[in-house]
Chains A and B, each alone.
Chain A
Amino acid sequence: MKDRNLTKEEYQRYSRHIILPHLGVQGQTKLKAAKILVVGAGGLGIPVLLYLAAAGVGELGIVDFDLVEFSNLQRQVIYKTEDVGKSKAQLAAKFVKEQNPLVQVNEYECWLDSNNALEILGDYDLIVDGTDNFPTRYLLNDAAVLLDMPYIYGSIFRFEGQVSVFNFNGGPHYRDLFPEPPAPELVPNCSEGGVLGVLPGMVGSMQALEALKVVTGVGEVLSGKLLTIDTLTNMYRSFRFGKRKDQPPITELIDYQQFCSPNHPLEEITSISALELKKWETTDKQYQLIDVREPYEFEIVNLGGDLFPKAKIDQYLDKIKRDIPVVVHCRSGKRSEEVIRHLKSEHAFDNLVNLEGGILAYATDVDPQLTVY
Protein backbone atom coordinates (compact mmCIF):
# COMPACT_ATOMS: atom_id res chain seq x y z
CA MET A 1 0.00 0.00 0.00
CA LYS A 2 1.49 3.29 -1.06
CA ASP A 3 1.55 6.28 1.23
CA ARG A 4 -1.59 8.24 0.47
CA ASN A 5 -0.14 11.54 1.65
CA LEU A 6 1.52 13.67 -0.97
CA THR A 7 5.30 13.99 -0.84
CA LYS A 8 7.22 17.23 -1.29
CA GLU A 9 8.04 16.23 -4.85
CA GLU A 10 4.36 15.58 -5.57
CA TYR A 11 3.36 18.97 -4.18
CA GLN A 12 5.79 20.55 -6.64
CA ARG A 13 4.90 18.41 -9.62
CA TYR A 14 1.15 18.77 -9.18
CA SER A 15 1.08 22.32 -7.82
CA ARG A 16 -1.11 23.63 -10.66
CA HIS A 17 -3.71 21.03 -9.75
CA ILE A 18 -3.37 21.59 -6.04
CA ILE A 19 -4.04 25.32 -6.30
CA LEU A 20 -7.21 24.70 -8.33
CA PRO A 21 -10.21 25.71 -6.20
CA HIS A 22 -12.26 22.52 -6.59
CA LEU A 23 -9.46 20.01 -6.90
CA GLY A 24 -6.87 20.85 -4.26
CA VAL A 25 -4.84 18.47 -2.11
CA GLN A 26 -7.87 16.28 -1.62
CA GLY A 27 -8.42 15.74 -5.39
CA GLN A 28 -4.74 15.14 -6.00
CA THR A 29 -4.63 12.58 -3.20
CA LYS A 30 -7.56 10.77 -4.80
CA LEU A 31 -5.69 10.71 -8.12
CA LYS A 32 -2.67 9.23 -6.38
CA ALA A 33 -4.83 6.46 -4.93
CA ALA A 34 -6.59 5.75 -8.26
CA LYS A 35 -6.04 2.67 -10.42
CA ILE A 36 -7.13 3.10 -14.02
CA LEU A 37 -7.03 0.57 -16.86
CA VAL A 38 -6.63 1.95 -20.38
CA VAL A 39 -7.62 -0.60 -22.99
CA GLY A 40 -5.92 0.08 -26.31
CA ALA A 41 -2.78 2.20 -26.74
CA GLY A 42 -3.77 3.61 -30.12
CA GLY A 43 -5.34 6.87 -31.27
CA LEU A 44 -7.61 7.25 -28.23
CA GLY A 45 -5.51 5.43 -25.63
CA ILE A 46 -2.40 7.55 -26.14
CA PRO A 47 -3.85 10.94 -25.14
CA VAL A 48 -5.69 9.22 -22.28
CA LEU A 49 -2.44 7.71 -20.99
CA LEU A 50 -0.44 10.89 -21.41
CA TYR A 51 -2.84 13.10 -19.49
CA LEU A 52 -3.63 10.57 -16.77
CA ALA A 53 0.06 9.87 -16.21
CA ALA A 54 0.94 13.56 -16.13
CA ALA A 55 -1.96 14.19 -13.75
CA GLY A 56 -0.51 11.76 -11.23
CA VAL A 57 -2.86 8.77 -11.34
CA GLY A 58 -1.22 6.26 -8.98
CA GLU A 59 -1.51 3.15 -11.09
CA LEU A 60 -2.13 2.82 -14.82
CA GLY A 61 -2.73 -0.42 -16.71
CA ILE A 62 -2.13 -0.56 -20.45
CA VAL A 63 -3.69 -3.32 -22.54
CA ASP A 64 -2.61 -3.68 -26.16
CA PHE A 65 -1.74 -6.64 -28.27
CA ASP A 66 -0.71 -4.74 -31.41
CA LEU A 67 2.58 -3.67 -32.90
CA VAL A 68 3.08 -0.16 -34.26
CA GLU A 69 2.23 0.06 -37.96
CA PHE A 70 3.45 2.71 -40.36
CA SER A 71 -0.12 3.94 -40.89
CA ASN A 72 -0.54 4.49 -37.11
CA LEU A 73 2.01 7.33 -37.05
CA GLN A 74 -0.44 9.82 -38.58
CA ARG A 75 -2.41 9.96 -35.31
CA GLN A 76 -0.72 7.87 -32.60
CA VAL A 77 1.65 10.65 -31.72
CA ILE A 78 4.04 9.12 -29.16
CA TYR A 79 5.29 6.50 -31.59
CA LYS A 80 8.32 7.36 -33.68
CA THR A 81 9.08 6.22 -37.21
CA GLU A 82 11.73 3.85 -35.84
CA ASP A 83 9.08 2.23 -33.59
CA VAL A 84 7.26 0.54 -36.47
CA GLY A 85 7.02 -3.17 -35.69
CA LYS A 86 7.49 -2.75 -31.91
CA SER A 87 4.98 -3.49 -29.13
CA LYS A 88 2.57 -0.64 -28.42
CA ALA A 89 2.04 -1.68 -24.80
CA GLN A 90 5.79 -1.69 -24.12
CA LEU A 91 6.44 1.62 -25.89
CA ALA A 92 3.50 3.35 -24.21
CA ALA A 93 4.57 2.04 -20.81
CA LYS A 94 8.12 3.31 -21.37
CA PHE A 95 6.81 6.72 -22.41
CA VAL A 96 4.58 6.99 -19.34
CA LYS A 97 7.36 5.95 -16.96
CA GLU A 98 9.68 8.57 -18.39
CA GLN A 99 7.02 11.26 -18.31
CA ASN A 100 6.10 10.52 -14.70
CA PRO A 101 8.22 7.99 -12.77
CA LEU A 102 5.80 8.28 -9.83
CA VAL A 103 3.14 6.34 -11.74
CA GLN A 104 3.09 2.57 -11.41
CA VAL A 105 2.57 1.13 -14.89
CA ASN A 106 1.29 -2.38 -15.61
CA GLU A 107 1.51 -3.73 -19.17
CA TYR A 108 -0.79 -6.36 -20.60
CA GLU A 109 0.38 -7.51 -24.01
CA CYS A 110 -2.67 -9.60 -24.64
CA TRP A 111 -5.96 -9.72 -26.43
CA LEU A 112 -8.72 -8.98 -23.94
CA ASP A 113 -11.54 -11.52 -24.10
CA SER A 114 -14.19 -13.19 -21.97
CA ASN A 115 -11.59 -15.47 -20.40
CA ASN A 116 -9.31 -12.81 -18.93
CA ALA A 117 -11.36 -9.58 -18.80
CA LEU A 118 -12.82 -9.90 -15.30
CA GLU A 119 -9.48 -10.85 -13.82
CA ILE A 120 -7.60 -7.96 -15.44
CA LEU A 121 -10.31 -5.32 -14.94
CA GLY A 122 -10.90 -6.48 -11.36
CA ASP A 123 -7.64 -4.87 -10.20
CA TYR A 124 -8.76 -1.37 -11.22
CA ASP A 125 -11.24 1.34 -10.18
CA LEU A 126 -12.33 2.37 -13.65
CA ILE A 127 -11.69 1.59 -17.28
CA VAL A 128 -11.08 3.85 -20.23
CA ASP A 129 -11.97 2.44 -23.63
CA GLY A 130 -9.48 3.11 -26.41
CA THR A 131 -10.40 0.06 -28.48
CA ASP A 132 -11.32 0.00 -32.14
CA ASN A 133 -13.97 -2.71 -32.49
CA PHE A 134 -17.47 -3.55 -31.33
CA PRO A 135 -16.80 -6.97 -29.74
CA THR A 136 -14.28 -5.48 -27.28
CA ARG A 137 -16.56 -2.53 -26.50
CA TYR A 138 -19.45 -4.84 -25.57
CA LEU A 139 -17.03 -6.97 -23.58
CA LEU A 140 -15.73 -3.95 -21.64
CA ASN A 141 -19.24 -2.73 -20.98
CA ASP A 142 -20.52 -6.03 -19.67
CA ALA A 143 -17.42 -6.59 -17.55
CA ALA A 144 -17.74 -3.07 -16.13
CA VAL A 145 -21.38 -3.73 -15.22
CA LEU A 146 -20.53 -7.07 -13.61
CA LEU A 147 -17.68 -5.48 -11.62
CA ASP A 148 -19.70 -2.34 -10.89
CA MET A 149 -17.07 0.07 -12.18
CA PRO A 150 -17.38 3.20 -14.34
CA TYR A 151 -16.56 2.76 -18.03
CA ILE A 152 -15.34 5.80 -19.95
CA TYR A 153 -16.29 5.43 -23.56
CA GLY A 154 -14.85 7.14 -26.62
CA SER A 155 -15.19 6.21 -30.26
CA ILE A 156 -14.34 7.80 -33.58
CA PHE A 157 -15.30 7.58 -37.23
CA ARG A 158 -13.83 9.72 -40.01
CA PHE A 159 -14.45 13.29 -38.73
CA GLU A 160 -16.85 12.37 -35.91
CA GLY A 161 -16.40 11.38 -32.29
CA GLN A 162 -18.57 10.09 -29.43
CA VAL A 163 -17.86 10.31 -25.70
CA SER A 164 -19.82 9.14 -22.67
CA VAL A 165 -19.38 7.73 -19.17
CA PHE A 166 -21.24 4.48 -18.62
CA ASN A 167 -22.23 2.65 -15.47
CA PHE A 168 -21.42 5.63 -13.24
CA ASN A 169 -23.21 5.47 -9.88
CA GLY A 170 -25.82 3.12 -11.30
CA GLY A 171 -26.28 5.22 -14.46
CA PRO A 172 -27.05 3.81 -17.94
CA HIS A 173 -24.45 1.94 -19.96
CA TYR A 174 -23.41 1.09 -23.51
CA ARG A 175 -26.21 -1.42 -24.09
CA ASP A 176 -28.79 1.16 -23.02
CA LEU A 177 -27.54 3.35 -25.82
CA PHE A 178 -26.69 0.69 -28.40
CA PRO A 179 -28.31 -2.63 -27.46
CA GLU A 180 -27.06 -4.39 -30.58
CA PRO A 181 -24.12 -3.84 -32.92
CA PRO A 182 -24.90 -2.95 -36.55
CA ALA A 183 -24.42 -5.49 -39.34
CA PRO A 184 -20.66 -6.19 -39.71
CA GLU A 185 -20.57 -5.23 -43.39
CA LEU A 186 -21.81 -1.75 -42.45
CA VAL A 187 -18.99 -1.15 -40.02
CA PRO A 188 -15.83 0.30 -41.46
CA ASN A 189 -12.92 0.65 -39.03
CA CYS A 190 -10.20 3.31 -39.22
CA SER A 191 -8.30 1.45 -41.93
CA GLU A 192 -11.38 1.36 -44.18
CA GLY A 193 -13.30 4.51 -43.21
CA GLY A 194 -10.28 6.69 -42.57
CA VAL A 195 -9.89 8.97 -39.58
CA LEU A 196 -8.73 12.55 -39.17
CA GLY A 197 -5.49 12.54 -37.15
CA VAL A 198 -6.49 15.25 -34.67
CA LEU A 199 -9.85 13.66 -33.83
CA PRO A 200 -8.63 10.84 -31.52
CA GLY A 201 -6.50 13.48 -29.78
CA MET A 202 -9.66 15.45 -28.99
CA VAL A 203 -11.84 12.47 -28.03
CA GLY A 204 -9.08 10.79 -25.98
CA SER A 205 -8.41 14.07 -24.14
CA MET A 206 -12.10 14.29 -23.26
CA GLN A 207 -12.01 10.72 -21.96
CA ALA A 208 -9.00 11.62 -19.79
CA LEU A 209 -10.95 14.64 -18.54
CA GLU A 210 -13.97 12.52 -17.61
CA ALA A 211 -11.71 10.01 -15.86
CA LEU A 212 -10.20 12.83 -13.76
CA LYS A 213 -13.71 14.07 -12.90
CA VAL A 214 -14.90 10.60 -11.90
CA VAL A 215 -11.86 10.08 -9.67
CA THR A 216 -11.75 13.50 -8.02
CA GLY A 217 -15.49 14.18 -7.87
CA VAL A 218 -14.95 17.60 -9.46
CA GLY A 219 -17.64 18.92 -11.81
CA GLU A 220 -20.37 17.11 -13.67
CA VAL A 221 -19.65 13.67 -15.14
CA LEU A 222 -20.89 12.89 -18.67
CA SER A 223 -23.18 10.15 -17.38
CA GLY A 224 -26.54 9.57 -19.13
CA LYS A 225 -25.36 11.80 -21.96
CA LEU A 226 -23.76 11.01 -25.29
CA LEU A 227 -21.52 13.82 -26.51
CA THR A 228 -21.04 13.90 -30.27
CA ILE A 229 -18.30 15.89 -31.95
CA ASP A 230 -18.39 16.77 -35.63
CA THR A 231 -15.06 18.35 -36.48
CA LEU A 232 -16.16 19.40 -39.97
CA THR A 233 -19.06 21.56 -38.81
CA ASN A 234 -17.81 22.36 -35.27
CA MET A 235 -21.05 20.89 -34.00
CA TYR A 236 -20.77 19.62 -30.41
CA ARG A 237 -23.99 18.22 -29.06
CA SER A 238 -24.99 16.11 -26.11
CA PHE A 239 -27.97 13.78 -26.15
CA ARG A 240 -29.60 12.60 -22.93
CA PHE A 241 -30.41 8.93 -22.54
CA GLY A 242 -31.62 6.68 -19.74
CA LYS A 243 -31.87 3.00 -19.01
CA ARG A 244 -33.79 0.86 -21.49
CA LYS A 245 -36.77 -0.90 -20.02
CA ASP A 246 -36.38 -3.92 -22.29
CA GLN A 247 -32.68 -4.45 -21.56
CA PRO A 248 -32.12 -7.93 -20.09
CA PRO A 249 -29.76 -7.90 -17.09
CA ILE A 250 -26.11 -8.73 -17.72
CA THR A 251 -25.24 -11.84 -15.71
CA GLU A 252 -22.12 -13.20 -17.41
CA LEU A 253 -19.67 -12.54 -20.24
CA ILE A 254 -20.55 -14.08 -23.61
CA ASP A 255 -18.83 -14.80 -26.94
CA TYR A 256 -18.60 -11.25 -28.27
CA GLN A 257 -17.26 -12.13 -31.73
CA GLN A 258 -20.33 -14.26 -32.25
CA PHE A 259 -22.59 -11.56 -30.77
CA CYS A 260 -21.28 -8.99 -33.25
CA SER A 261 -21.32 -11.27 -36.34
CA PRO A 262 -24.17 -13.70 -35.67
CA ASN A 263 -24.80 -14.63 -39.29
CA HIS A 264 -21.19 -15.25 -40.12
CA PRO A 265 -20.21 -18.68 -38.82
CA LEU A 266 -16.49 -19.27 -39.11
CA GLU A 267 -16.33 -21.45 -42.18
CA GLU A 268 -13.22 -22.57 -43.99
CA ILE A 269 -12.07 -20.02 -46.53
CA THR A 270 -9.97 -20.94 -49.51
CA SER A 271 -7.01 -18.68 -50.02
CA ILE A 272 -4.34 -18.08 -52.59
CA SER A 273 -0.87 -16.61 -52.11
CA ALA A 274 0.36 -13.62 -54.08
CA LEU A 275 2.87 -15.84 -55.90
CA GLU A 276 0.17 -18.31 -56.93
CA LEU A 277 -1.99 -15.44 -58.21
CA LYS A 278 0.97 -14.26 -60.25
CA LYS A 279 1.08 -17.75 -61.82
CA TRP A 280 -2.62 -17.52 -62.64
CA GLU A 281 -1.95 -14.18 -64.34
CA THR A 282 0.72 -15.60 -66.58
CA THR A 283 -1.29 -18.62 -67.68
CA ASP A 284 -4.61 -18.42 -69.49
CA LYS A 285 -6.54 -19.48 -66.40
CA GLN A 286 -10.04 -18.02 -66.28
CA TYR A 287 -10.79 -16.11 -63.09
CA GLN A 288 -12.20 -12.82 -61.88
CA LEU A 289 -10.27 -10.50 -59.54
CA ILE A 290 -12.32 -8.22 -57.31
CA ASP A 291 -11.04 -5.44 -55.09
CA VAL A 292 -13.20 -4.67 -52.06
CA ARG A 293 -11.34 -1.56 -50.92
CA GLU A 294 -12.58 2.02 -51.14
CA PRO A 295 -12.23 4.03 -54.38
CA TYR A 296 -9.58 6.35 -52.90
CA GLU A 297 -7.50 3.32 -51.97
CA PHE A 298 -7.89 1.99 -55.49
CA GLU A 299 -6.49 5.28 -56.77
CA ILE A 300 -3.39 4.91 -54.61
CA VAL A 301 -2.57 1.46 -55.95
CA ASN A 302 -4.49 -1.39 -57.57
CA LEU A 303 -4.06 -4.78 -59.21
CA GLY A 304 -6.54 -4.05 -61.98
CA GLY A 305 -9.43 -5.88 -60.31
CA ASP A 306 -13.09 -4.91 -60.42
CA LEU A 307 -13.71 -2.35 -57.67
CA PHE A 308 -16.65 -3.49 -55.51
CA PRO A 309 -16.20 -1.77 -52.11
CA LYS A 310 -17.02 -3.90 -49.06
CA ALA A 311 -19.65 -1.54 -47.66
CA LYS A 312 -21.66 -1.73 -50.90
CA ILE A 313 -20.86 -5.28 -51.91
CA ASP A 314 -24.51 -6.30 -52.14
CA GLN A 315 -25.01 -3.84 -54.99
CA TYR A 316 -22.54 -5.78 -57.12
CA LEU A 317 -23.92 -9.28 -56.64
CA ASP A 318 -24.86 -9.72 -60.30
CA LYS A 319 -21.36 -8.66 -61.38
CA ILE A 320 -19.60 -11.28 -59.28
CA LYS A 321 -19.13 -14.39 -61.42
CA ARG A 322 -20.29 -17.77 -60.18
CA ASP A 323 -18.90 -20.04 -62.92
CA ILE A 324 -15.18 -19.31 -62.58
CA PRO A 325 -12.92 -18.78 -59.53
CA VAL A 326 -13.19 -15.28 -58.04
CA VAL A 327 -10.17 -13.92 -56.20
CA VAL A 328 -11.17 -11.32 -53.61
CA HIS A 329 -8.57 -8.92 -52.28
CA CYS A 330 -8.20 -5.82 -50.09
CA ARG A 331 -5.17 -4.17 -48.50
CA SER A 332 -4.17 -6.82 -45.97
CA GLY A 333 -6.56 -9.71 -46.53
CA LYS A 334 -8.89 -9.00 -43.60
CA ARG A 335 -11.74 -7.15 -45.30
CA SER A 336 -11.71 -9.55 -48.23
CA GLU A 337 -12.08 -12.42 -45.77
CA GLU A 338 -15.11 -10.72 -44.22
CA VAL A 339 -16.62 -10.13 -47.65
CA ILE A 340 -16.12 -13.80 -48.55
CA ARG A 341 -17.82 -14.92 -45.33
CA HIS A 342 -20.72 -12.61 -46.07
CA LEU A 343 -21.09 -13.68 -49.72
CA LYS A 344 -20.85 -17.36 -48.78
CA SER A 345 -23.36 -17.31 -45.98
CA GLU A 346 -25.83 -14.76 -47.33
CA HIS A 347 -25.59 -15.28 -51.08
CA ALA A 348 -24.39 -18.86 -51.48
CA PHE A 349 -21.19 -18.17 -53.42
CA ASP A 350 -18.89 -21.22 -53.41
CA ASN A 351 -16.16 -20.08 -55.81
CA LEU A 352 -14.47 -17.33 -53.78
CA VAL A 353 -10.76 -17.28 -53.00
CA ASN A 354 -9.06 -14.87 -50.60
CA LEU A 355 -5.78 -13.24 -51.62
CA GLU A 356 -3.67 -13.93 -48.53
CA GLY A 357 -2.08 -10.77 -47.16
CA GLY A 358 -3.85 -8.65 -49.77
CA ILE A 359 -2.13 -6.06 -51.88
CA LEU A 360 0.58 -5.72 -49.21
CA ALA A 361 1.66 -9.32 -49.74
CA TYR A 362 1.49 -8.85 -53.50
CA ALA A 363 3.80 -5.86 -53.24
CA THR A 364 6.24 -7.79 -51.04
CA ASP A 365 6.29 -11.06 -52.96
CA VAL A 366 5.52 -10.18 -56.57
CA ASP A 367 5.83 -6.52 -57.44
CA PRO A 368 7.98 -4.34 -55.14
CA GLN A 369 7.27 -1.33 -57.40
CA LEU A 370 3.72 -1.09 -56.03
CA THR A 371 2.93 1.67 -53.56
CA VAL A 372 2.13 0.35 -50.09
CA TYR A 373 0.12 2.38 -47.61
Chain B
Amino acid sequence: MKINLLVFGIARDILGYAQHEMSIQSDMRIQDLKHKLSEEYPDFKKLAKFDIAVNQEYQEDSFVLSERDEVAIIPPVSGG
Protein backbone atom coordinates (compact mmCIF):
# COMPACT_ATOMS: atom_id res chain seq x y z
CA MET B 1 0.00 0.00 0.00
CA LYS B 2 1.00 3.61 -0.39
CA ILE B 3 1.39 6.40 2.13
CA ASN B 4 2.25 10.04 1.63
CA LEU B 5 5.24 11.14 3.70
CA LEU B 6 5.56 14.82 4.69
CA VAL B 7 9.01 15.67 5.98
CA PHE B 8 10.07 18.76 7.93
CA GLY B 9 13.21 20.39 9.28
CA ILE B 10 16.48 18.53 9.41
CA ALA B 11 14.72 15.28 8.43
CA ARG B 12 14.50 16.74 4.91
CA ASP B 13 18.30 16.71 4.75
CA ILE B 14 18.48 13.18 6.05
CA LEU B 15 15.81 11.65 3.81
CA GLY B 16 16.45 13.93 0.87
CA TYR B 17 12.85 14.97 0.22
CA ALA B 18 10.06 17.13 1.64
CA GLN B 19 7.22 15.02 0.32
CA HIS B 20 7.29 11.45 -0.94
CA GLU B 21 4.85 8.74 -1.90
CA MET B 22 6.15 5.61 -0.24
CA SER B 23 5.17 1.98 -0.76
CA ILE B 24 4.98 -0.02 2.46
CA GLN B 25 3.66 -3.38 3.55
CA SER B 26 0.10 -3.30 4.82
CA ASP B 27 -0.39 -3.33 8.60
CA MET B 28 2.87 -1.49 9.12
CA ARG B 29 3.04 0.28 12.50
CA ILE B 30 4.70 3.65 13.08
CA GLN B 31 7.56 1.93 14.91
CA ASP B 32 8.12 -0.31 11.86
CA LEU B 33 8.26 2.73 9.61
CA LYS B 34 10.80 4.40 11.94
CA HIS B 35 12.85 1.21 11.88
CA LYS B 36 12.72 1.00 8.08
CA LEU B 37 13.83 4.64 7.72
CA SER B 38 16.63 4.17 10.29
CA GLU B 39 17.93 1.14 8.36
CA GLU B 40 18.05 3.09 5.13
CA TYR B 41 19.27 6.35 6.65
CA PRO B 42 21.45 5.84 9.77
CA ASP B 43 21.26 9.55 10.70
CA PHE B 44 17.50 9.20 11.09
CA LYS B 45 18.07 7.42 14.41
CA LYS B 46 19.88 10.47 15.80
CA LEU B 47 16.64 12.47 15.64
CA ALA B 48 15.91 10.73 18.96
CA LYS B 49 12.55 10.06 20.42
CA PHE B 50 9.82 11.86 18.58
CA ASP B 51 6.30 11.06 17.49
CA ILE B 52 4.82 10.98 14.05
CA ALA B 53 1.54 12.57 13.05
CA VAL B 54 -0.89 10.69 10.85
CA ASN B 55 -3.57 12.69 9.08
CA GLN B 56 -2.65 15.76 11.16
CA GLU B 57 -2.89 14.02 14.53
CA TYR B 58 0.05 12.70 16.56
CA GLN B 59 -0.03 8.96 17.15
CA GLU B 60 1.86 6.47 19.28
CA ASP B 61 4.44 4.05 17.89
CA SER B 62 1.97 1.16 17.94
CA PHE B 63 -0.43 2.96 15.56
CA VAL B 64 -1.11 0.92 12.41
CA LEU B 65 -0.87 2.81 9.13
CA SER B 66 -3.51 2.59 6.41
CA GLU B 67 -3.58 3.09 2.67
CA ARG B 68 -3.23 6.78 1.64
CA ASP B 69 -2.39 8.00 5.13
CA GLU B 70 -0.58 11.33 5.27
CA VAL B 71 2.36 10.66 7.57
CA ALA B 72 4.26 13.71 8.92
CA ILE B 73 7.77 13.59 10.34
CA ILE B 74 8.38 16.80 12.29
CA PRO B 75 11.68 17.00 14.18
CA PRO B 76 12.16 19.85 16.63
CA VAL B 77 13.88 22.97 15.30
CA SER B 78 15.63 25.49 17.49
CA GLY B 79 16.29 28.66 15.51
CA GLY B 80 15.03 32.03 16.63
Q: Which residues of A contact B (CB under 8 A)?
A: 40, 42-45, 129-134, 137, 154-157, 160, 162, 177-183, 185-190, 193, 195, 200, 226, 228, 230, 233, 237-242, 311
Contact = CB atoms under 8 A, between A and B. Distances in A.
| Majority secondary structure, A binding face | mixed
A162 B78 CA distance: 10
A162 B80 contact: no
B58 A240 contact: yes
A160 B56 contact: no
Contacts of A134: 76, 78
Contacts of B51: 177, 241
Given A238-B56, A239-B53, A241-B58, A183 B78 contact: no
A44 B57 contact: no
Contacts of A178: 50, 76
Interface in B65-80: 72, 74-80
B10 A155 contact: no
B8 interface: yes
Contacts of A311: 10, 13
A187 B50 CA distance: 15
Given A182-B10, A239-B53, 11 more contacts: A132-B79, A157-B77, A157-B78, A162-B74, A162-B76, A177-B51, A183-B46, A183-B48, A190-B79, A228-B8, A237-B72
A269 to B, nearest CB: 22
A162 B50 CA distance: 15
A186 B47 CA distance: 8
Contacts of B6: 237
Contact of B9 (A133, A160, A183): A160
Interface in B7-42: 8-10, 13-14, 18
Interface of B: 6, 8-10, 13-14, 18, 43, 46-51, 53, 56-58, 72, 74-80
Contact of A155 (B13, B49, B79): B79
Nearest to B10: A186
Contact of B80 (A130, A180, A237): A130
Nearest to B52: A239
| Chain B CB within 10 Å, residue with most, of A157, A160, A242, A311 | A157
Contacts of B57: 239-241
A157 B10 contact: yes
Contact of A180 (B9, B10, B49): B49
A260 to B, nearest CB: 9
B49 A187 contact: no
Contacts of B79: 43, 132, 155-157, 189-190, 193, 195
Contacts of B9: 157, 160
